[in-house]
Amino acid sequence: MVSWDDYHFFYSDHYEVELDPNHRFPMNKYSLLRKSLIEKGIVKNSQIIAADLINIDHLYLAHTPDYIEQVLDLSLSRQKARAIGLPLTEEMVRRALGSQGAFWQAITSSLDTGFSASLAGGTHHAHADSGEGFCFFNDFAVNVRRLHRERPGYKILILDLDVHQGNGNSSILNKDKDVFITSYHGKHNYPYRKVPSHLDRSFADGTGDEEYLRTLSEDLSKFSKMGFQHLLYQAGVDSLKGDAFGKLSMSHEGLKERDRMVFEFAKRNQIPVTMALGGGYSKDIAETVKAYTGTYEMAKKVF
Ligand SMILES: [Zn+2]
Protein backbone atom coordinates (compact mmCIF):
# COMPACT_ATOMS: atom_id res chain seq x y z
CA MET A 1 0.00 0.00 0.00
CA VAL A 2 1.42 3.35 -1.06
CA SER A 3 1.01 6.31 1.29
CA TRP A 4 1.32 10.04 0.56
CA ASP A 5 4.89 10.09 1.93
CA ASP A 6 5.92 7.65 -0.82
CA TYR A 7 5.12 10.14 -3.58
CA HIS A 8 7.96 12.20 -5.00
CA PHE A 9 7.98 15.53 -6.76
CA PHE A 10 10.71 16.95 -8.96
CA TYR A 11 11.82 20.54 -9.25
CA SER A 12 14.18 22.36 -11.57
CA ASP A 13 14.48 25.83 -10.05
CA HIS A 14 17.88 24.89 -8.63
CA TYR A 15 19.08 25.66 -12.17
CA GLU A 16 18.93 29.33 -11.38
CA VAL A 17 17.83 32.02 -13.78
CA GLU A 18 17.76 35.74 -13.11
CA LEU A 19 15.12 37.61 -15.08
CA ASP A 20 14.67 41.34 -15.23
CA PRO A 21 12.23 42.08 -12.35
CA ASN A 22 9.96 43.81 -14.88
CA HIS A 23 9.78 40.77 -17.14
CA ARG A 24 6.20 39.57 -17.56
CA PHE A 25 7.13 35.96 -16.75
CA PRO A 26 6.98 35.35 -12.97
CA MET A 27 10.13 33.22 -12.65
CA ASN A 28 9.94 33.22 -8.85
CA LYS A 29 6.67 31.25 -8.80
CA TYR A 30 8.52 27.92 -8.86
CA SER A 31 10.54 28.44 -5.71
CA LEU A 32 7.55 30.13 -4.02
CA LEU A 33 5.44 27.04 -4.66
CA ARG A 34 8.11 24.75 -3.27
CA LYS A 35 8.30 26.91 -0.16
CA SER A 36 4.53 27.03 0.18
CA LEU A 37 4.19 23.23 -0.03
CA ILE A 38 6.78 22.73 2.70
CA GLU A 39 5.56 25.54 4.97
CA LYS A 40 1.98 24.33 4.83
CA GLY A 41 3.13 20.79 5.62
CA ILE A 42 1.64 19.42 2.40
CA VAL A 43 4.87 17.74 1.34
CA LYS A 44 8.01 16.91 3.28
CA ASN A 45 11.49 17.90 2.21
CA SER A 46 12.26 14.25 1.65
CA GLN A 47 9.53 14.08 -1.00
CA ILE A 48 10.92 16.79 -3.25
CA ILE A 49 13.89 16.01 -5.42
CA ALA A 50 16.14 18.22 -7.54
CA ALA A 51 15.76 17.06 -11.14
CA ASP A 52 18.63 16.03 -13.37
CA LEU A 53 19.12 17.56 -16.79
CA ILE A 54 17.59 15.55 -19.60
CA ASN A 55 20.05 13.74 -21.83
CA ILE A 56 20.06 15.87 -25.00
CA ASP A 57 19.55 12.80 -27.20
CA HIS A 58 15.95 12.50 -26.05
CA LEU A 59 15.03 15.90 -27.45
CA TYR A 60 15.49 14.46 -30.94
CA LEU A 61 12.43 12.28 -30.36
CA ALA A 62 10.22 15.34 -30.80
CA HIS A 63 12.31 18.23 -32.12
CA THR A 64 14.24 18.86 -35.31
CA PRO A 65 18.05 18.70 -35.16
CA ASP A 66 18.42 22.29 -36.45
CA TYR A 67 16.14 23.70 -33.79
CA ILE A 68 17.75 21.74 -30.95
CA GLU A 69 21.25 22.73 -31.98
CA GLN A 70 20.36 26.40 -32.46
CA VAL A 71 18.82 26.58 -28.99
CA LEU A 72 21.74 24.78 -27.39
CA ASP A 73 24.40 26.95 -29.01
CA LEU A 74 22.25 30.07 -28.56
CA SER A 75 22.27 30.79 -32.29
CA LEU A 76 18.50 30.85 -32.85
CA SER A 77 17.39 33.74 -35.08
CA ARG A 78 16.26 36.81 -33.22
CA GLN A 79 12.73 36.36 -34.57
CA LYS A 80 12.46 32.76 -33.36
CA ALA A 81 13.93 33.68 -29.98
CA ARG A 82 11.44 36.53 -29.59
CA ALA A 83 8.50 34.15 -30.14
CA ILE A 84 9.59 32.21 -27.04
CA GLY A 85 9.34 35.31 -24.88
CA LEU A 86 12.20 34.36 -22.56
CA PRO A 87 15.83 35.39 -23.01
CA LEU A 88 17.95 32.87 -24.88
CA THR A 89 20.81 32.42 -22.42
CA GLU A 90 22.85 29.50 -21.16
CA GLU A 91 21.09 29.61 -17.78
CA MET A 92 17.66 29.63 -19.37
CA VAL A 93 18.45 26.69 -21.62
CA ARG A 94 19.84 24.73 -18.68
CA ARG A 95 16.60 25.42 -16.80
CA ALA A 96 14.59 24.18 -19.81
CA LEU A 97 16.62 20.96 -19.86
CA GLY A 98 16.11 20.57 -16.12
CA SER A 99 12.38 20.96 -16.57
CA GLN A 100 12.41 18.22 -19.21
CA GLY A 101 14.37 15.99 -16.85
CA ALA A 102 11.88 16.69 -14.05
CA PHE A 103 8.96 15.49 -16.13
CA TRP A 104 10.66 12.26 -17.12
CA GLN A 105 11.66 11.54 -13.53
CA ALA A 106 8.08 12.23 -12.48
CA ILE A 107 6.78 9.83 -15.12
CA THR A 108 9.16 7.12 -13.93
CA SER A 109 8.19 7.73 -10.32
CA SER A 110 4.45 7.62 -11.08
CA LEU A 111 4.91 4.27 -12.80
CA ASP A 112 6.16 2.96 -9.44
CA THR A 113 3.76 4.70 -7.09
CA GLY A 114 0.75 5.84 -9.15
CA PHE A 115 1.28 9.57 -8.72
CA SER A 116 4.06 12.09 -9.22
CA ALA A 117 4.59 15.60 -10.52
CA SER A 118 7.06 18.06 -11.89
CA LEU A 119 7.08 21.37 -10.03
CA ALA A 120 7.72 22.97 -13.41
CA GLY A 121 7.01 22.41 -17.06
CA GLY A 122 3.88 21.79 -19.01
CA THR A 123 5.59 23.30 -22.05
CA HIS A 124 2.76 22.54 -24.45
CA HIS A 125 3.40 25.43 -26.86
CA ALA A 126 6.73 24.22 -28.24
CA HIS A 127 6.60 22.80 -31.77
CA ALA A 128 9.07 20.42 -33.43
CA ASP A 129 11.08 23.23 -35.03
CA SER A 130 10.21 26.29 -32.96
CA GLY A 131 9.34 27.46 -29.47
CA GLU A 132 6.75 29.99 -28.36
CA GLY A 133 4.71 31.06 -25.34
CA PHE A 134 7.56 30.64 -22.80
CA CYS A 135 8.31 27.10 -24.07
CA PHE A 136 11.65 26.02 -25.55
CA PHE A 137 11.17 22.26 -25.76
CA ASN A 138 7.92 20.33 -25.39
CA ASP A 139 8.02 18.13 -22.28
CA PHE A 140 4.80 16.31 -23.20
CA ALA A 141 5.91 15.47 -26.74
CA VAL A 142 9.46 14.42 -25.82
CA ASN A 143 8.36 12.29 -22.91
CA VAL A 144 5.34 10.67 -24.58
CA ARG A 145 7.66 9.52 -27.36
CA ARG A 146 10.19 8.32 -24.78
CA LEU A 147 7.52 6.45 -22.86
CA HIS A 148 6.21 4.89 -26.05
CA ARG A 149 9.70 3.76 -27.00
CA GLU A 150 9.88 1.85 -23.72
CA ARG A 151 6.25 0.76 -23.73
CA PRO A 152 4.88 0.48 -27.26
CA GLY A 153 1.10 0.47 -27.39
CA TYR A 154 0.80 2.11 -23.96
CA LYS A 155 -2.41 4.17 -24.04
CA ILE A 156 -1.76 7.69 -22.81
CA LEU A 157 -4.28 10.43 -22.11
CA ILE A 158 -3.00 14.01 -22.12
CA LEU A 159 -5.44 16.15 -20.21
CA ASP A 160 -4.43 19.75 -20.73
CA LEU A 161 -6.41 22.08 -18.49
CA ASP A 162 -4.12 25.07 -18.86
CA VAL A 163 -6.15 28.03 -20.14
CA HIS A 164 -4.07 28.16 -23.33
CA GLN A 165 -4.55 25.61 -26.06
CA GLY A 166 -1.78 23.01 -26.27
CA ASN A 167 -0.92 23.82 -29.87
CA GLY A 168 2.57 22.30 -29.65
CA ASN A 169 1.32 19.02 -28.20
CA SER A 170 -1.12 18.78 -31.09
CA SER A 171 1.30 19.80 -33.82
CA ILE A 172 3.84 17.19 -32.71
CA LEU A 173 1.75 14.31 -31.36
CA ASN A 174 -1.57 14.48 -33.15
CA LYS A 175 -0.77 11.66 -35.54
CA ASP A 176 1.01 9.44 -33.00
CA LYS A 177 -0.77 6.23 -32.11
CA ASP A 178 -1.92 5.54 -28.56
CA VAL A 179 -1.97 9.11 -27.32
CA PHE A 180 -5.20 11.05 -26.94
CA ILE A 181 -4.91 14.80 -26.45
CA THR A 182 -7.62 16.82 -24.75
CA SER A 183 -7.31 20.57 -24.36
CA TYR A 184 -9.60 22.86 -22.36
CA HIS A 185 -8.90 26.49 -23.12
CA GLY A 186 -10.18 30.01 -23.50
CA LYS A 187 -11.45 30.60 -27.01
CA HIS A 188 -9.99 34.11 -27.05
CA ASN A 189 -6.80 33.22 -25.27
CA TYR A 190 -3.41 32.74 -26.90
CA PRO A 191 -2.57 30.90 -29.18
CA TYR A 192 -4.78 32.72 -31.65
CA ARG A 193 -4.29 29.99 -34.20
CA LYS A 194 -5.18 26.75 -32.42
CA VAL A 195 -3.90 23.40 -33.72
CA PRO A 196 -6.71 20.86 -33.42
CA SER A 197 -6.18 18.14 -30.82
CA HIS A 198 -8.32 15.01 -30.45
CA LEU A 199 -10.78 16.78 -28.19
CA ASP A 200 -10.83 20.55 -27.86
CA ARG A 201 -13.10 22.35 -25.42
CA SER A 202 -13.10 26.02 -26.18
CA PHE A 203 -14.71 28.30 -23.59
CA ALA A 204 -15.99 31.87 -23.85
CA ASP A 205 -14.49 34.70 -21.80
CA GLY A 206 -15.73 34.68 -18.20
CA THR A 207 -17.05 31.10 -18.38
CA GLY A 208 -16.54 30.52 -14.64
CA ASP A 209 -16.74 27.27 -12.70
CA GLU A 210 -20.11 25.77 -13.42
CA GLU A 211 -20.06 25.16 -17.16
CA TYR A 212 -16.39 24.19 -17.04
CA LEU A 213 -16.85 21.58 -14.32
CA ARG A 214 -19.99 20.16 -15.90
CA THR A 215 -18.12 19.63 -19.18
CA LEU A 216 -15.18 18.08 -17.37
CA SER A 217 -17.43 15.69 -15.49
CA GLU A 218 -19.02 14.51 -18.75
CA ASP A 219 -15.68 14.09 -20.49
CA LEU A 220 -14.14 12.17 -17.59
CA SER A 221 -16.98 9.66 -17.62
CA LYS A 222 -16.35 9.08 -21.33
CA PHE A 223 -12.62 8.70 -20.68
CA SER A 224 -13.39 6.01 -18.10
CA LYS A 225 -14.55 3.78 -20.94
CA MET A 226 -11.59 4.41 -23.24
CA GLY A 227 -9.03 2.13 -21.63
CA PHE A 228 -6.28 4.66 -20.89
CA GLN A 229 -3.24 3.34 -19.03
CA HIS A 230 -1.57 6.63 -18.04
CA LEU A 231 -2.70 10.20 -17.44
CA LEU A 232 -0.40 13.12 -18.18
CA TYR A 233 -2.07 16.09 -16.55
CA GLN A 234 -1.22 19.68 -17.48
CA ALA A 235 -2.62 21.37 -14.37
CA GLY A 236 -2.09 25.04 -15.29
CA VAL A 237 -3.96 27.47 -13.06
CA ASP A 238 -4.14 30.37 -15.49
CA SER A 239 -7.91 29.95 -15.80
CA LEU A 240 -8.06 31.59 -12.34
CA LYS A 241 -9.94 34.89 -12.13
CA GLY A 242 -7.47 37.75 -12.26
CA ASP A 243 -4.82 35.91 -14.28
CA ALA A 244 -2.98 38.35 -16.53
CA PHE A 245 -3.04 35.92 -19.48
CA GLY A 246 -6.28 33.99 -18.92
CA LYS A 247 -9.91 34.94 -19.42
CA LEU A 248 -11.99 32.15 -17.88
CA SER A 249 -12.51 33.66 -14.40
CA MET A 250 -12.54 30.45 -12.40
CA SER A 251 -12.46 30.56 -8.61
CA HIS A 252 -9.97 28.86 -6.29
CA GLU A 253 -12.77 26.52 -5.21
CA GLY A 254 -13.56 25.74 -8.85
CA LEU A 255 -9.94 24.84 -9.56
CA LYS A 256 -9.81 22.57 -6.52
CA GLU A 257 -12.98 20.85 -7.65
CA ARG A 258 -11.43 20.45 -11.12
CA ASP A 259 -8.42 18.74 -9.55
CA ARG A 260 -10.55 16.58 -7.29
CA MET A 261 -12.47 15.31 -10.33
CA VAL A 262 -9.30 14.56 -12.29
CA PHE A 263 -7.57 12.75 -9.41
CA GLU A 264 -10.70 10.76 -8.51
CA PHE A 265 -11.04 9.73 -12.16
CA ALA A 266 -7.48 8.40 -12.19
CA LYS A 267 -7.85 6.67 -8.85
CA ARG A 268 -11.14 5.04 -9.80
CA ASN A 269 -9.65 3.74 -13.04
CA GLN A 270 -6.28 2.86 -11.46
CA ILE A 271 -4.35 4.96 -13.95
CA PRO A 272 -0.97 6.40 -12.91
CA VAL A 273 -0.93 10.21 -13.01
CA THR A 274 2.00 12.43 -13.87
CA MET A 275 1.33 16.10 -13.44
CA ALA A 276 3.10 19.11 -14.90
CA LEU A 277 2.72 22.56 -13.38
CA GLY A 278 1.54 24.60 -16.37
CA GLY A 279 0.73 28.30 -16.52
CA GLY A 280 -0.19 30.75 -13.80
CA TYR A 281 0.29 34.52 -14.12
CA SER A 282 -1.90 36.27 -11.58
CA LYS A 283 -1.11 39.95 -11.21
CA ASP A 284 -0.49 39.14 -7.56
CA ILE A 285 1.73 36.06 -7.89
CA ALA A 286 0.63 34.88 -4.42
CA GLU A 287 -2.75 34.06 -6.00
CA THR A 288 -1.10 31.76 -8.53
CA VAL A 289 0.99 30.08 -5.83
CA LYS A 290 -2.16 29.61 -3.74
CA ALA A 291 -3.87 27.91 -6.69
CA TYR A 292 -0.90 25.63 -7.40
CA THR A 293 -0.77 24.77 -3.71
CA GLY A 294 -4.49 23.97 -3.80
CA THR A 295 -3.83 21.36 -6.47
CA TYR A 296 -1.36 19.59 -4.16
CA GLU A 297 -3.74 19.86 -1.21
CA MET A 298 -6.38 18.13 -3.29
CA ALA A 299 -3.94 15.47 -4.50
CA LYS A 300 -3.06 14.72 -0.89
CA LYS A 301 -6.74 14.34 -0.02
CA VAL A 302 -7.46 11.99 -2.90
CA PHE A 303 -4.29 9.87 -3.04
ZN1 LIG B 1 -1.18 28.78 -20.05
For residue 3, report the distance from its CA to the centre of ligand 1, in Å: 31
- Kindly report the average pLDDT of the chain as a whole number: 97
For residue 34, report the distance from its CA to the centre of ligand 1, in Å: 20
pLDDT band per the 50, 70, 90 thresholds, residue 22:
confident
Which residues fall inside 5 Å of ion ligand 1, going by CB?
A: 162, 164, 236, 238, 279
Instruction: Give tens-digit pLDDT for 39-55.
Output: 999 999 999 999 999 99
Q: Is the pLDDT of residue 283 over 90?
A: yes
Question: Looking at residue 58, what is its pLDDT?
Answer: 98
For residue 124, report the distance from its CA to the centre of ligand 1, in Å: 9
For residue 248, report the distance from its CA to the centre of ligand 1, in Å: 12
For residue 32, report the distance from its CA to the centre of ligand 1, in Å: 18
Instruction: Give tens-digit pLDDT for 106-146.
Output: 999 999 999 999 999 999 999 999 999 999 999 999 999 99
For residue 136, report the distance from its CA to the centre of ligand 1, in Å: 14
For residue 252, report the distance from its CA to the centre of ligand 1, in Å: 16
For residue 186, report the distance from its CA to the centre of ligand 1, in Å: 10
For residue 281, report the distance from its CA to the centre of ligand 1, in Å: 8
For residue 2, report the distance from its CA to the centre of ligand 1, in Å: 32
Question: Looking at residue 1, what is its pLDDT?
Answer: 81
Residue 267's closest CA among 216, 235, 224, 222? Answer: 224
For residue 199, report the distance from its CA to the centre of ligand 1, in Å: 17
Q: Is the pLDDT of residue 21 over 90?
A: no
Question: Looking at residue 53, what is its pLDDT?
Answer: 98
Question: Looking at residue 167, what is its pLDDT?
Answer: 98
Domain boundaries along the sequence of the chain: 4-302
Instruction: Give tens-digit pLDDT for 209-261.
Output: 999 999 999 999 999 999 999 999 999 999 999 999 999 999 999 999 999 99
For residue 138, report the distance from its CA to the centre of ligand 1, in Å: 14
Q: Is the pLDDT of residue 178 over 90?
A: yes
Residue 161 CB partners (closer than 8 Å, separation 6+): 184, 216, 233, 234, 235, 236, 239, 258, 262, 278
Q: Which homologous superfamily does the CATH classification assign to the domain defined by 4-302?
A: Histone deacetylase domain (3.40.800.20)
For residue 283, report the distance from its CA to the centre of ligand 1, in Å: 14
